Amino acid sequence: MALINSRTSNKPPASISQRARETSPHTLGQNSTQRVMALVIMATVPALVAQTIFFGWGTLINVIWCSLIAMGCEALVMTLRKRPVSFYLKDYSALVTGLLLGLALPPFAPFWISLVAVSFAMIIAKHLYGGLGQNPFNPAMVGYVLVLISFPQEMTSWLPPLGVEGYNNSLSDALFTIFPFGQGIEVDAISTATVLDVMRENKSLTMDELWAANPVFDGFAGRGWMWVNLAYLAGGVFLIWRKVFTWHAPVGMLAAIAVMAFLFWGGTGSDSHGSPVFHLLSGATMLGAFFIITDPVSGATSNRGRLIFGAGVGIMVYVIRAWGGYPDGVAFATLLMNMAAPTIDYYTQPRTYGHNKANKGLPGKD
Amino acid sequence: MTNNTDTAAATSTTALLAKIAKDGLWKNNPALVQLLGLCPLLGVSSSVVNALGLGIATMLVVMGSNIAVSLIRHQVTDAIRLPVFVMIIASFTTCIELLMQAYTYELYRILGIFIPLIVTNCIILGRADAFASRNSVLPAAFDGFMMGSGFAVILLLLGAMRELIGQGTLFSGMDLLLGPIAADWTITVFPNYKQFLFAILPPGAFVFMGFLIAIKNIIDRRMEERNKQRQPTEPKESRRVRVTGNI
Amino acid sequence: MSDDQIPLKDATQNSASVKNAVFTSIIRNSFGLGLFAVFTVGLISITWILTQEKIQTQVRAYEARALMEILPQKTHDNVLVDSKTTLEPSRLLSSQTTTEAYVALNNGEVSAVILPVIAPDGYNGRIDLLVGIKRDGSLAGVRAVTHKETPGLGDKINTNVSDWILSFAGKSLNQPTAEGWSVKKDGGDFDQFTGATITPRAVVAAVHRALTYFETHQKHLLNPRNIQQHSISEEPSHDQ
C-alpha cells in the first residue's frame, strides 16, 4: 500500500537540479516513502499485539509470512522489470501491503491462502498496473477479496477469542496449522462465527439475549474485537498526528457507518442490525478507516474528495453488512469506491490559485 | 456497390479465403482483437463443455446469417437492411435454441439465457453488415465459419483454463453435449484439488481474458520484430502498414 | 445534386412526384420487410414443428430424472411426471400459490409423494426443494432444485458437491424427535457444513415442516382419486 504521493515515490532519487525542474508540490526531505511507511508499520503494532493476544499467535505468524511473500514478489517483479531491487524494497511499501494482508486474514489461515492473496496483490493488482503509485485498486484489498470469494470456508473460519471456550494460544498449534508440517489443529472443529456473522444470521434473539447467549459478544461489540478496533484507532490517530494522512477519509467513513447504523438500527429487538457503536468497533471498521482507505494512490486526492470517498466506503460497508451476502464488507466497499475515485476527483478539483471558480463539472459550461 | 468486390473475389478466391481465415482466427479475431461478444464469452466459459456448446451455437448462427445475408444482398434496399439482418439473425438463433432444447437439453438448461442472447452478439450483426452484405455466398459462408471459429477457439481456451484452474479437471460433463460416449472423458489433472472459485466465477474470466490478450500481443510483437530483422533493407514504401479492424 | 439549386417553382411542381416516390419506396420496403418476416417465421415454424415432440420428451425426461433420484422406478408402477395432485397454498410448504405434488402409485395404492417445498430463509434467499415422503411418513429423499447459496459454502446442498442432503433418507417426524430436527450447532442431529450453518438450518427446518404438512394432509395426499393424470398423449407413453 502506498501511503505517499506517487510523485515522490515512483522514481529513484533525483538530484536537486533535476528536482528543480519538476512541477510543484515538492515534498522534500522528511516525507519520503520510507519514512511514511515506517510510521505506518509502527502504528499497526498496538493492533498486532491486541490481535495476537485475543486470537492467538496465528496473526503474528501470518504477518511475518505475508511480509516475506510481499518482499519476495516485489524483488521478483523488480528483477523482471530490470529495476534496482534494493531501492524499492527499502521504501517498505511492499512490506506494508504484506503486513496489512497478514492482519486482515483469519489467524489460522493456511499458508497457501496468504501466498495466493499476497502474490496476487503484489504482482497483478500492483505491478501489472505499473507499480507503486499507478494501481487504481488497493492491492491488499484485491488480494483479500480474491481469497475471500475463492476460499470462503477458510476465510470465514475465525477462532474463538480470548475468554471463550476453545481459545487457542499455543505457538506450535498456530505454526503447524498454518504450515502443515506437524500436528496442527482442526480449524473446522473449533472455529466460531464472528460477531458480525452472528448478528447477520440472528433472526430470533433480542440483543440482550444475544449478548447473554453467545460468549463472542462482550461489552459494546465482540469479545476481543473491540480492543483490536480501539488499537487500530489509536494507531490511526497517531498517524494523523504525524501528518501521514489527513483526517478526512477516516472521519468520512466512520461518520457514514455511524449514521447508517443509527438510521437502520432497529432497536434492541431480534430484527436489530446492531447499534452504531457495535458497527464502529466490529470487524475491520477501524483497520479499513485508518490503514486501508487512506491509501493516496487508489483513493481520492483532495480533502473534500477524501471525505466523500470515505463516506461512500462507510455507506457501502454498512449496506453489505446489513443486507449483503458477506458478513463484513470493508474490502468490497473499498474496491467499489476505488472505482469511483477518479470521478470524485473530477468533481472536487480544488480551485486553482488566482482563478475564481474551480475547474469542475462538465467542460464548456461557465 | 457490391459488384466490384464480387468480381475481385472471383479472380483471387484462394487468396481471399486465406485472408478471411487469417483475419477470423488471428489478426482480427472477434474475441481477442475486436473484443466483441464479451458477455457470453466471459459468462459461459467456466468449463470446456459450456464453452464448446456456446461456441458451436454461435458459429452456426454466424455462418447461417452470413449465408442468408449474402444470398439476399441484391434484393434488400438500404432502408430496411438492418431490420432484415436482425430478423434473419433472430430466426437462426431461435432455431438453434430449439435444436439445443431437443438434442442437448441439459446443456440448454446450463447455458440458459446465453443462447437467446446470441442475437445480441455484435460479431454476428457486424459480420452480416461489414462482410456478408458485400460478398458472394462462398466467401461469406467461409467468413462466418472463420469468425465463428475464432470466437469458439478463444471460448474453448478460456473454458479450459478456467476449468483446469478452478476445478482441476478438463472435459468434465462432455456427455451433456456429445451424448453418452463422452461420459468418461473427464481428465482429472490435479487429484484432490481444492476448488479455486475465483477462476470459475465471472471475475476470473476477466483476468484470464486479459492474459490471453496479453499473450497474443506478445506473440504479435515478437513476429513483427522477427519480420523486421529478416528484411532490414526493405524500401520504405513497401513496408507493411499495420491495420487493425479492417477487411 | 443539392436541393437549393432547384428553383422554388420547380420544387413545388415536383412535390407531387416526390411524394409519389416516397410512397412507392415505403410500400416497397414494407413489402420487402413483410416478405422477410414471413420467411423467417416460416423457418422458425418448420424447426419448431420438427423439434417439438423431441423437446417435450426431453423436458419430461429431465423432470422425471430428478423425481427418479428420489423414488427409483422399482418403488412404483405409474408415470410419476404425469401423476400430480394439486396442493392449496400452505404456510408449512411456504407456498403462496397452488402447487403440485407428484404421486407414486403401487398396485393402485399411493406408495409415496414428492412435495415441492420452499425453504425461504437460505443465506441468499429461498431454496426450492423436492421432498419425497413414503406412505409410512418416512423420507424417501430430498433434493435441492434451485438456490442462490454461496458457491463453496452453501452449495453443499447439491448432490454433485456433497452427499449431505442424502442423509435425510429414512428419517421421519419422530425419528429423530422434534428436538433433533435441527443442526448440531443448535443441539440437533443434523451435521452443518464447515463454514456454513444457515443453509443446512434452513433446509432441515423446511424438511421438518414438509413432514408436518404430510401428517396433517395425509388423507388428501394418500387418496389415489385426487390424482390428475397429465398425460400429453392419449396412449400411455413409451419412454418411461
- pLDDT tens for A255-270 read 999 999 999 988 788 7
In the predicted structure, residue C232 carries a pLDDT above the cut 50? no
Interface confidence: ipTM more than 0.90 = no
Q: Which domain holds residue C216?
A: 74-229
Chains with 3+ CB–CB pairs under 8 A to C are A, B
Q: Is the residue at C235 inside a domain?
A: no
Tally of structural domains, chain C: 2
**Average pLDDT for residues C216-237, to the nearest whole number?**
66
Q: How many contacts, defined by CB atoms under 8 Å, are there between A and C?
A: 27
Cβ–Cβ under 8 Å, residues A300 and A7 = no
Reported as a single tens digit per residue, the pLDDT across A329-353 is 899 999 999 999 999 999 988 777 7
Whether the Cβ atoms of residue A232 and residue A287 lie closer than 8 Å to each other: yes
Q: Are residues C50 and C79 in the same domain?
A: no
Q: Are residues C157 and C84 located together in one domain of the fold?
A: yes
Do residue C81 and residue C22 come from a single domain? no
State the pLDDT at residue A165. Answer: 76
pLDDT for position C229: 66
* Three-class SS of chain B: CCHHHHHHHHHCHHHHHHHHHHHHHHHCCCCCCCCCCHHHHHHHCCCHHHHHHHHHHHHHHHHHHHHHHHHCCCCCCHHHHHHHHHHHHHHHHHHHHHHHHHHCHHHHHHHHHHCHHHHHCHHHHHHHHHCHHHCCHHHHHHHHHHHHHHHHHHHHHHHHHHHHHHHCEECCCCHHHHCHHHCCCCEECCCCCCCCHHHHCHHHHHHHHHHHHHHHHHHHHHHHHHHHHHCCCCCHHHCCCCCCCCC
Q: Closest by alpha carbon to A94, among A48, A135, A51?
A: A135
Range list of H helices, C71-135: none
User: For testing the chain B interface, which of C22, C40, C149, C161 should be mutated: the one with the most B CBs within 10 Å?
Assistant: C40
Which is higher by pLDDT, A60 or C220? A60
Judge: B91–C41 Cβ closer than 8 Å, yes or no: yes
Q: Which region holds residue A360: left if phi is over 0, alpha if psi is between -120 and 50, else beta?
A: beta
- The three-class DSSP label of residue C145 is strand
Interface of A with C (CB under 8 A): 150-154, 156-157, 188, 191, 193, 201, 203, 325
Question: Among partner residues A150, A156, A325, which is closest to C124 by beta-carbon distance?
Answer: A325
pTM above 0.80, yes or no: no
- Give residue-wise pLDDT tens across range B129-176: 888 888 889 989 999 999 999 999 999 999 999 999 988 888 887 877
Residues C46 and C96 in one domain: no
pLDDT given for residue A24 in this prediction: 55
- Report whether A113 contacts A151 (CB < 8 A): yes
Mean pLDDT value across residues A325-331:
86
Which of residues 73 through 92 in chain C touch A, CB cutoff 8 A? none
Within a domain: residue C64? no
Residues C20 and C98 in one domain: no
pLDDT at C25 over 70: yes
Q: Does the pLDDT value for residue A117 go beyond 90?
A: yes
3-state secondary structure chain A: CCCCCHHHHCCCCCCHHHHHHCCCCCCCCCCCHHHHHHHHHHHHHHHHHHHHHHHCCHHHHHHHHHHHHHHHHHHHHHHHCCCCHHHHHCCCHHHHHHHHHHHHCCCCCCHHHHHHHHHHHHHHHHHCCCCCCCCCCCHHHHHHHHHHHHCHHHHCCECCCCCCCCCCCCHHHHHHHHCCCCCCCCHHHHCECCHHHHHHHCCCCCHHHHHHHCCCEECCEECCHHHHHHHHHHHHHHHHHCCCCCCHHHHHHHHHHHHHHHHCCCCCCCCCCCCHHHHHCCCCHHHHHHHHCCCCCCCCCCHHHHHHHHHHHHHHHHHHHHHCCCCCCHHHHHHHHHHHHHHHHHHCCCCCCCCCCCCCCCCCCC
The mean pLDDT value for A100-110 works out to 92
Residues B79-135: tens digit of each pLDDT:
888 888 999 999 999 999 999 889 888 888 888 888 888 888 888 888 888 888 888
Tally of CA atoms within 13 A in the half-sphere of B149 that contains its CB: 13
Angle between helices A93-104 and A111-119 (to 10 degrees): 140
Place of cell 466471459: B42
Name B245's Cβ contacts closer than 8 Å, sequence gap at least 6. Answer: B28, B33, B34
The distance of A150 to chain B (nearest Cα, Å) reads 4
Report yes or no on C147 lying in a domain.
yes
Based on the fold, state whether residues C47 and C81 are members of the same structural domain: no
pLDDT in tens, B28-47: 888 888 888 888 888 888 88
Measured at the CA of C59, the angle between CA B160 and CA C93, to 5 degrees, comes to 100
Other Cβ atoms within 10 Å of A232 Cβ, number: 27
Do C131 and C35 belong to one domain? no
Put simply, whether C121 touches A (Cβ < 8 Å) is yes
**Rounded CA gap, A45 and A66, in Å?**
16
A340 min Cα distance to partner chain B (Å)? 18
**Range of A88-97, A198-207, A247-256, B128-137 with top mean pLDDT:** A247-256
Domain limits, chain A: 32-192, 193-348
Q: Is the Cβ pair A153, C153 closer than 8 Å?
A: yes
